Amino acid sequence: MQKLTSQTEWIARAHEVLPAGGFGNFDPGIVIARGEGSKVWDEDGIEYIDYLIGSGPMLLGHGHPEVMEAVLEQLPKGMTFFANNAKGIELAEAIIDAVPCCEQVRFVASGGEADMYAIRLARAFTGRDKILKFEGGYHGMSAEAQMSLAPEAQVNFPQAVPDSAGIPQGVADQMLIAPFNDPAAVEALLAEHDDIAAIIVEPLQRIIPAEPGYLQGLRDLCDKHNVLLIFDEIVTGFRLAYGGAQERYGVVPDICTLGKIIGGGFPLAALGASAEIMQHFDKGKVGSEGWLMQLGTLSGNPIAAAAGLKTMEVLRRDGTYDQLRRTGRALQDMQVAALTEAGIAHQICGDETLFDIFFTDNVCRDYRSAKHDQPAVNATYNAVLRANGIFKSPGKLYPSLAVSEADLEQTADAVAQAVAAIR
C-alpha cells in the first residue's frame, strides 16, 4: 500500500470509512500524527501547542517519561486479563486515599460508562427512579445523559429534551431538568417529587463555576430529602486539586465518577462511594433483587492502571498544582489583557485549570447565559489561533503541566493575532 504523506489524503480516506469523516469527537479536518510534551503534530508535520490534551487526560503532557517507563514495564507482563490484577488494586487504593467520598470503587473503560452506572447505582440503593440533572450538564452518552445536554429549544423546566435520536420517551419521563446555579429551582423540584433517586452534577459544569455555597446547598437539600448526590468528576477529578472538586470546594457527594487523568491517557474510568452504597455490586450481600450487574472486558486493565498510578504519583509532588494554576492564570491574563485593550466584550469562564472565553458582557452562570453574543467572532478567534499553532477546542482550553515559558510566549503572539482578526 502506498504510504500516505498528505493530511488531505488521510481526510479523504476517513470520509470513506467514518460517518462525517471522523470519530465523533473533534474537528475531522485535522489528523494528528503524534504528540510529545506540550506539542502535537498533524500529518503534514505542522506543530501545535496542545491545549486540547486529549480532552483532558494528558495533564502531564504527551509521553511523560515516567509514565512511559511504567507502561513499558507492564507491557511484557500482560495487557489485559479480564481478572483482578495488582496494578488495578493499587490504583483503587490510591483513588480511595485521595477522594473523600470513596470507600470502594469499580472500574469501567469510559467516563460515560461510569456516569451510567452511577445513575443505576443510585436507583438501586434508593429504590426510586427519577434523576435530576442540570441543563447543559454533560454526563456521557447514555440515554439519561443525553437529556437536555445541548437543547436548541428553550422549554420550561423541568421538561427533558432528548439530544439524540433513538431515545424512548420513557427515559425523558424519568428525568427532571433544572437550571444550574439556581438552588430555589432544585428545592422546588425536591419538594414536589418524592421519587427522585439522585441529583447528578458536574461541580464545574463544562466550564461554568458553581456560585459560592451552591454545591453545599445541593448537599444540604439532598440530606433533607433523602436524595443521593452524584458528583461527575470525570473532568474535575485530579485536575482542580489532587482530591478533585471534593477537596477544592470542601463538599462531599454520596457517589462520584472519575476518568481521564486516572488512566494516564489510556481508557479507564471509575465510580466510587461508601461501602454501604457500593455493596449493590456484591450479589452475596444484597441478593438478586438488589444486585447491580457490572462487567467490562477492559475494566481495570493493568496498562491503564500502571499509567494512572504513575500519573497520580507525579501529581502528588510538591508544587504541582501551584504550577498548573500559574500556567492557567498566565493563559487567562494574556487573553484578558489583549481583549480589554482592543475593547472587545468578553468573560473568562471556568477555573484556572480549565476555562475559555465567552464573547459577551453577560455573566455566565448557567447553560442559557453561557453563550457568545456573536458566535462567528468565537469561530474566527479560534480559527486564527489554530492557524498560529494553537490546538484547542472551540469551547475549552486545558492547561497542562508540560506547557513551558516559550509555549506561553508563542501563545501570547497567537492571541495577539486572533484579537487583531476580530477587532
DSSP 69-118: HHHHHHGGG-S--SS--HHHHHHHHHHHHH-TT-SEEEEESSHHHHHHHH
Which CATH number belongs to the domain containing residue 212 in this structure?
A: 3.40.640.10
Rounded Cα–Cα distance for residues 11 and 13 (Å): 5
Q: Is the N-terminal amide bond of 158 cis, ω within 30° of 0? A: yes
Give the pLDDT of residue 339.
Answer: 98
In a domain, 157, yes or no: yes
The cell numbers describing 218, all together, are 445541593
User: Across the chain, which distance is largest between two alpha carbons, in Å?
Assistant: 66
In a domain, 290, yes or no: yes
Give the pLDDT of residue 185.
Answer: 98
Q: What is the total count of domains within the chain? A: 1
| Active-site pick, 50, 115, 232, 366 | 232
In terms of residue numbers, what domain contains 278? 65-315
303 with 133: CB under 8 angstroms? no
The cell numbers describing 207, all together, are 466550564
Q: Does residue 1 surpass a pLDDT of 90?
A: no
The cell numbers describing 393, all together, are 477546542
pLDDT in tens, 121-171: 999 999 999 999 999 999 999 999 999 999 998 999 999 999 999 999 999
Q: Is 138 a catalytic residue?
A: yes
Rounded Cα–Cα distance for residues 197 and 124 (Å): 9
The cell numbers describing 50, all together, are 496542545
Q: How far is CA 350 from CA 167, 175, 236, 370, in A?
A: 31, 27, 11, 11
In a domain, 270, yes or no: yes
What is the CB neighbour count within 10 angstroms for residue 344?
Answer: 15
**Which residues, listed in sequence order, are joined to residue 196 by a DSSP beta bridge?**
130
In a domain, 286, yes or no: yes
The stretch 19-35 carries a mean pLDDT of 96
| Active-site pick, 117, 138, 367, 381 | 138
In a domain, 257, yes or no: yes
In a domain, 126, yes or no: yes
How many residues are listed for the chain in this entry?
423
| Active-site pick, 39, 130, 133, 260 | 260
In a domain, 14, yes or no: no
In a domain, 372, yes or no: no
* Cell 470507600 sits on residue: 103
pLDDT in tens, 71-128: 999 999 999 999 999 999 999 999 999 999 999 999 999 999 999 999 999 999 999 9
Q: pTM (2 decimals)?
A: 0.97
Q: How confident is the model at residue 3 (pLDDT cuts 50, 70, 90)?
A: low
